[in-house]
Amino acid sequence: MPSADHDLGPQHLGEPAKIVTREPRDRSPEHSEPSRFIPHVQGLRAIAVLCVVLYHFWPGRITGGYIGVDVFFVISGFLITAHLMRELTATGTVRLGQFWARRARRLLPASLLVLLFCALVVMSPYLMPTSALPNEVREILASTFYVENWYLALNSADYLNHAGEPATVQHYWSLSLEEQFYVMWPLIMLLAAWIGVKWFRGARRRAVLIALGVVTVASFVFCVVFTITNPAPAYFVTFGRMWQFGVGAMIALVPMLRVRNAIASFVVGWAGILLLVYVTFTFDGQTPFPGYMAALPTLGAAAVIAASNTDRWWYPTRILAIRPAQFVGDISYSLYLWHWPLIVIAPSVPFWGLTIYHRVALLVLCFVLAWLTKRFVEDPARGWRVLTTRPPRVTLWSSLAAMLVVAVVASTAWFVNAPAYAAGTRAIQELQANPPDCFGAASVLDPSCVDTDFGDTVLPAPGFAGVDRPSDEQCFVQLTDARPVSCTFGSQDPDAPRVALIGDSHAYQLLSTFQRMADENGWQLVTWFKGACPWNTTPLSTPGAFGDACTQWRGGVQSALADADLDAVFTAAIATTPYSSTGFGSSYDAAVAGYRDAWSEVTDRGIPVITVVDNPVWETDPNKCLRTRDIAECGAPRSDVLVADDPLREAASGLESVTLLDFTDVFCTAETCEPVVGGANVYRDQDHLTVTFADTLAPWYSEAISARLTPRGE
């Protein structure tokens, strides 16, 4: 997060440093020292924010751009530690109230402005799906009070592999973490300084250095271990990131780490920049992060900061000090704040599209808004005399009042739309209980329905498709949870046919439909689901704890299946799962072999397997288009959203014990795939079916399973 710590010194390279001999009452003692503005650090801030912004605009090209946040953490650790240490050395203490008040005046006005904008946006059903409203409001509240990182950690959000649509304020997790750093870091330094004075003969600086060194090492160890054991929350947890601030702090506190030799500074500085470029384009969502891999961008940023020689124009310190880099560094905080909400909202704007031209125009708009915010919000707020001429508590209480205003507006967004939210969810329930004739898949598969025209009907409404999902979340394990959790539904008759439903989230999306089928057909349904982990024996190419958990879950499921009395198994899986190709010619061959091997565990016992070719996977939720455009404008080219070679199709080919269902012609015509079929809204996000649409496929699922079931006793 591009915290605005460059206010520690003058904003322009030519502005002279001033030594203040008499300290004004409204200013803390460290400002009586010469200002220390470091141009190349400001240029590094530009690199960091561009990495993050371009990653969010083009995640398929700038695959590791998320490391920009790690660079910001190092910069903040360096600048804030130097700032606090100067005051601590000069006065023997840190005026916490003054320090926190300055942080509040610097950071909160722009931050709360963007949060207020997001709160107003979520009130509009045209710009935000009503189904997303509860989570949007919760995250805005969490961001307002700077606990968004903990909200995401406790809800097991996966920042690098997020399914569905993240909230407009998800990027506030790093702001929240930095604010927590601003609270804890001066307290740690004060405590260490007090111990140094009381027990170590006044060795204040040494005590601070040791304390921060211990925190840094402990945090790094915690980060590595926690990323291995639980990577999703590890991305957000505060203590798992403190070591990155600590690395910056070490450069501030240890003079020998600041490289002044001309040749060494040249080598170290450019090595740091090249390392940042390397990880930006080679890291991706499968990189085990943060963990030990985060050491690369952290050390790269540290190297750039440490290179302090400015003798020649080709040194990185001089290149990063050129005016364009300084401009981007100046607006980096506001640019970070604005870019993500606009990316989330833009596809829902009626006249907007998703072409390269629209993305570039949106990027330009982000820069314009960032500059305007810097010019008319950030800079003026920092010098508001109504706050700077009064005690720090006035700033802090004013900040709390402003935060409460944003919270009230966000809560109002919920109360205004709550009736519509309740009505929408009721409408979905009624639709599923009593669907129209020839609805959904029947309009394609039922010969008597081929001439049915639903016109512009879209059910469930695009604003509510997101909540049309299975409700039994306790049956679905995610991330590093390796427990083979099983659920049982339907008939309790010991003679009832027993059907298993196994797989990843594309199997779980069928759960509600299969529950109804079990009730209607007198089956007993038993399930095993794990997110992003198909029923397959080939390991995922995903390294670390996530891939290991998938392997362990599969082993647990295989053991459970060995003891299970089943009559049929149904399985489904997303076609884009990354499999390890080790031992095979390709990951596709590995996936095919893994499916066949997994299925053989039951087919060798005479238990049939029924599987289905995967549905299309869209780049973005088609409901964004459906909320503002005609259905005819929201289709996608078949080649863009449909995996041509689903390994499930090849795995089932030629196996008598396996039945393959292929509904591709339901989802797609010869040229395009459609988000609405027979009046039914097909998707609840970019790749998961609504329960409503899955229900329309139930007759064909039931027919395929029933054809394979052998009456018990025969």
pLDDT tens track for 332-345: 999 999 999 999 99
d(CA 690, CA 683): 5
Q: Given pLDDT bands bounded at 50, 70 and 90, which one contains residue 314?
A: confident
Torsion angle in degrees (nearest 10) through CA of 87, 21, 4, 79: -40
> What ranges in 564-616 are assigned the alpha helix state H?
587-603
Question: At which residue do the structure tokens 């893994």 appear?
Answer: 594
Mean pLDDT of the 574-582 span: 93
At 113-161, the pLDDT tens digits run 999 999 999 988 888 888 888 999 999 999 999 999 999 998 866 555 5
pLDDT value of residue 23: 36
> Per-residue pLDDT for 21 more than 80?
no
Q: Out of 35-39, 127-131, 514-518, 652-656, which region has the weakest mean confidence (pLDDT)?
A: 35-39
At 259-273, the pLDDT tens digits run 999 999 999 999 999
Q: Given pLDDT bands bounded at 50, 70 and 90, which one contains residue 16?
A: very low
At 31-89, the pLDDT tens digits run 333 346 789 999 999 999 999 999 999 987 898 999 999 999 999 999 999 999 999 99
Whether residue 30 contacts residue 83, with contact meaning beta carbons closer than 8 Å, is answered with yes
Mean pLDDT of the 87-96 span: 91
Mean pLDDT of the 307-332 span: 92
Question: Closest by alpha carbon to 107, among 158, 67, 72?
Answer: 72
* Whole-Å CA distances, 707 to 113, 135, 334, 700, 701: 61, 43, 61, 11, 10
pLDDT value of residue 624: 85
pLDDT value of residue 675: 96
> Per-residue pLDDT for 19 more than 60?
no
**What phi and psi, each to the nearest 5 degrees, are found at residue 488?**
-125, 135
pLDDT value of residue 29: 33
**What phi and psi, each to the nearest 5 degrees, are found at residue 332?**
-60, -40
Task: Report the percent of the chain where pLDDT is more than 70.
Answer: 92
Question: Closest by alpha carbon to 509, among 458, 430, 427, 572?
Answer: 572
d(CA 445, CA 700): 9
- Quote the pTM value: 0.83
Kindly report the average pLDDT of the chain as a whole number: 89
pLDDT value of residue 561: 95
Whether residue 439 contacts residue 678, with contact meaning beta carbons closer than 8 Å, is answered with yes
> Per-residue pLDDT for 642 more than 90?
yes
User: What single string gives the DSSP state of each residue in 29-73?
Assistant: GGGGSPP---HHHHHHHHHHHHHHHHHHH-TTTSTTGGGHHHHHH
Q: Given pLDDT bands bounded at 50, 70 and 90, which one contains residue 347?
A: confident
Mean pLDDT of the 432-442 span: 92
At 182-197, the pLDDT tens digits run 999 999 999 999 998 8
Mean pLDDT of the 678-686 span: 94
Whether residue 245 contacts residue 75, with contact meaning beta carbons closer than 8 Å, is answered with no
Whether residue 283 contacts residue 293, with contact meaning beta carbons closer than 8 Å, is answered with yes
> Per-residue pLDDT for 468 more than 50?
yes
Q: Are strands 609-612 and 658-661 parallel, antiparallel or unpaired?
A: parallel
